[in-house]
Amino acid sequence: MNVYFMRHGETDWNTIKRLQGRTDIPLNQNGIDLAAKTSKAVHESGIVFDKILTSPLIRAKKTAELMNVYSKAPLSEDSRIIEFCFGDGEGHTFEEIKTNDRFINLRNWFFAPENYHAEMGAESYEDFFGRLDDFLTTVRQLEKELPAEKAENYNLLIVCHGGVVRGLLKQMLEWSVNDFAKTKIPNCGLNLCKLTNGIFSLEYTAKIFA
């Protein structure tokens, strides 16, 4: 089974480098255009999605809808792939987080993740990776339920967020938490892992189709 997963299109908070987390910010016009161009380019490359799962946040849902223009696949929300909750850090710029010692622990999430611990309303790694593991159990179950001849070419698309894409890569490929933090995740960059008999293998990350 082909498991594609991607970050949503651009938002205004992305452009000014403001931490979004669970804050429900919509796509800006460039984000809409980028998702539409990505959808068209993916379609022209010959990829048709059989199923799409999206985070419930509006920036992901709109991206998922645009990615589904050509495939017209069943599309549903899954709260387990909502973005990491950054608590009181949400709404602050990355410059504030890097320079204000009030956010020193949140800074660790990005630059020294082995030292991160949950505080100020932020999510714990235990909860974050736990819900992603639960989600991946569902993905593995989908592969098991597909007939063998269909599973090989079945295309699942997951539309989510930068933090979740990093987390999925870590859990799928058993990366360390440090590898998780270093991964660059562009808006609408597509990632692909093959799932064979419950085992994930990486094909590519952050591929730009638009």
Q: Which residues are catalytic?
A: 8, 83
DSSP 101: G
Tokens of 3: 């498991």
Q: Which residues of 103-113 are buried (b: 16+ CB within 10 A; e: fewer)?
A: bebbbebeeeb
User: CB of 182 within 8 A of CB of 114?
Assistant: no
**Alpha helices, H only, 156-208:** 162-173, 177-182
CA distance 53 to 69: 14
Distance of CA 95 to the CA centre of its chain: 23
- Kind of pairing between the strands at 75-77 and 51-54: parallel
Distance of CA 155 to the CA centre of its chain: 16
